[in-house]
Amino acid sequence: MNLKPEPLVYELSSPGRLAAALPVCDVPKTPVPASLARTELELPELDELSVVRHFTRLSQKNYSIDTHFYPLGSCTMKYNPKVNEQAAGLSGWRNTHPLIGDEFSQGALELVYKLQESLREIGGFAAASLQPAAGAHGELAGVFIMRAYHLSRGDTKRSKILIPDSAHGTNPATCTMAGLTTQALASDADGKVDIAALKAALGDDVAGIMITNPNTLGLFDPNIEEIGRLVHEAGGLVYGDGANMNALTGVFKPGEAGIDVMHFNLHKTFSTPHGGGGPGAGFVGVCERLSEFLPGPIVAKRNGKYALEMPKRSVGRMKSFYGNFGVLVRAYTYVLMLGASGLRRLAENAVLNANYLKALVEKTYKVKYPRRCMHEFVAMGDLAEGIHTLDVAKRLIDYGFHPPTIYFPLIVSEALMIEPTETEDKETLDEFAEVLLKIAEEARANPELLHAAPTSTPIGRLDEVGAARNPVLCYRG
């Protein structure tokens, strides 16, 4: 890891330096009116080698899947295949314009269509859109769809969405953006949706439920169809948050088990790279009665040709054009590489790896809901007096591991959510478990090692309070 401070690009700037080599103007010039012309442009001036060294050195301050194990629960940090990058880099994708017309973009439309169909099949849905740019964007589309469905039937009272208290923060935030209110549903003692609480909450003001299955505790709720039945009987719809699809490909089709609308995160289950925070892509699949509400345009196949179409009563465009196409290319490549049996083996190995890792550490790191987990499990990091999950997380860094997800879900205190994924080998899992146990020992014998961690990184724990009290959000020359 690069431990040396790296100056800001502005601090490396020197007047008159120029990296770009542009052509000479080959047409007569037109003067720019003084009233419009910019007089000052404060961008840095660097030569090309300085730019390359600067960003290369910056990259060396990062952990990444290519370099480190990242057991981040709920994020599915699996290997991002290089073949995806090669496929996405083809000139035929990069240089295609979204408005060139259906006649001239049959290749691109074909890819979107085939991915739509593949993901539909994986989820068990009747129709789908690939327009959303991320999981949360897909959630927003899904909630818009639910709202539009009820309004289309003259049912204007349904303004509330039920959300389990273990849900990801995007779920309630999404509802607010769609003008709906939320009501939290308590989980029962086993970490499942409390059926009695659900029955009590259902009514003619409930638009639906947003449910993650397996849930954020990594547990599959066997009552999923019962939950769906109850919600449907009360006139509501079931939204499935597909963030945990990595446990289910080829194993369970949510669309066949009562889920009316669901998003997948292509940057989770379908191996597209996280890129330091995106871009992602959000597939949205729906049951038959919701298909006319999908956001669009989507791709249809008519008489052997591919065409862009807007669903009849679409909730509208979620963004410009058709989705994060470059990300879709990667996901489609991945689906082709895995094939039907590969998709099932993906889930099997993800679940096996998680259960194996759980077995290695659960005597020391209490797992609140100890039954068989799916692709992830939630342990607790308060190992000793004065030791918190945060300390365990930071100490893991000193051993060369990215920490698991911490303090989520909110219903487990001192939560440590661990998801190894199927792309890690047994040796890595064994090593990680060993390190976790070692840290537990340190917590008892030498807790200062945890409190001071990390010490092997370019900077130690940052004063986030100071950063938020006096925000410095850009370079101040």
**DSSP class of residue 72?**
B
Q: Is position 257 an interface residue for another protein (rule: CB under 8 A)? A: yes
Closest to another protein by CB, 67 vs 446, is: 67
Minimum CB distance to another protein smaller for 147 or for 237 = 147
| Degrees to nearest 5, angle at CA 173 with 419 and 354 | 10
The one among 193, 198, 315, 436 contacting another protein by CB under 8 A: 315
> Rounded to an integer, what distance in angstroms lies between the CA atom of residue 403 and that of residue 383?
16
Strands across the sheet with 415-418, in order?
377-380, 415-418, 405-406
DSSP states of 407-461? S-STTSTTEEEE---TTS-HHHHHHHHHHHHHHHHHHHH-THHHHT---SSSS-S
- Among the residue ranges 252-260, 283-291, 378-386, 442-450, the one whose residues contact another protein (CB under 8 A): 252-260
User: Using CB under 8 A, which of 162, 211, 294, 329 touches another protein?
Assistant: 329
155 binds another protein (CB under 8 A): no
Using CB under 8 A, which of 189, 302, 320, 385 touches another protein? 320
Cis peptide, bond prior to residue 132, ω within 30 of zero: no
| Cβ count within 10 A of residue 354 | 27
The contact pattern for another protein, residues 168-187, with x = CB under 8 A and - = no contact, is xxx-xxxxxxxxxxx-----
Comparing CB distances to another protein, the nearer of 170 and 187 is: 170
SS3 380: strand
Among residues 197 and 223, whose Cβ is nearest to another protein?
Answer: 223
Output the smallest distance, CB 302 to another protein, in A.
17
Please report, as residue ranges, which positions from 384 to 443 form the binding site for another protein (by CB under 8 A).
393-394, 397, 402-403, 407-408, 422-426, 428
Tokens encoding 278: 């995106």
Neighbours of 475 (CB within 10 A): 11
CA-based nearest residue to 278, from 140, 137, 387, 141: 137
Contact 422, 229 (CB under 8 A): no
Residues 335-354 that bind another protein (CB under 8 A): 335-346, 348-349, 351-353
Q: Taking CB under 8 A as the rule, does residue 13 contact another protein?
A: yes
Check if the beta carbon of residue 147 is closer than 8 Å to that of residue 140.
no
For another protein, the binding residue among 73, 105, 291, 414 (CB under 8 A) is 105
Residue 126 contacts another protein per CB under 8 A:
no
137 part of the interface to another protein, by CB under 8 A: yes
Residues β-bridged to residue 206: 160
Task: Specify the stretch interacting with another protein by CB under 8 A; choose among 43-51, 194-202, 378-386, 439-447.
Answer: 43-51
Positions in 268-297 near another protein (CB under 8 A): 271, 273-281, 295
Least distance to another protein from the beta carbon of 49, Å?
10
- State the nearest-atom distance from the C-beta of 234 to another protein, in Å: 22
- Binding residue for another protein, selected from 71, 73, 118, 230, defined by CB under 8 A: 118
Q: Closest approach of Cβ 46 to another protein, in Å?
A: 6
Phi, psi of 356 (to 5 degrees): -65, -50
Report the candidate in 323, 319, 299 with the shortest Cα–Cα distance to residue 311: 299
The least CB distance from residue 81 to another protein, in Å, is: 6
| Residues of this chain, 194-233, that bind another protein according to CB under 8 A | 219-220, 222, 225
In the bound complex, what is the minimum distance in angstroms from residue 96's beta carbon to another protein?
4
In a 13 Å sphere around the CA of 49, the CA atoms on its Cβ side amount to 0
Left (φ > 0), alpha (ψ -120 to 50) or beta: where does 192 sit? beta
Binds another protein by CB under 8 A, chosen from 71, 72, 284, 411: 72
145 binds another protein (CB under 8 A): no
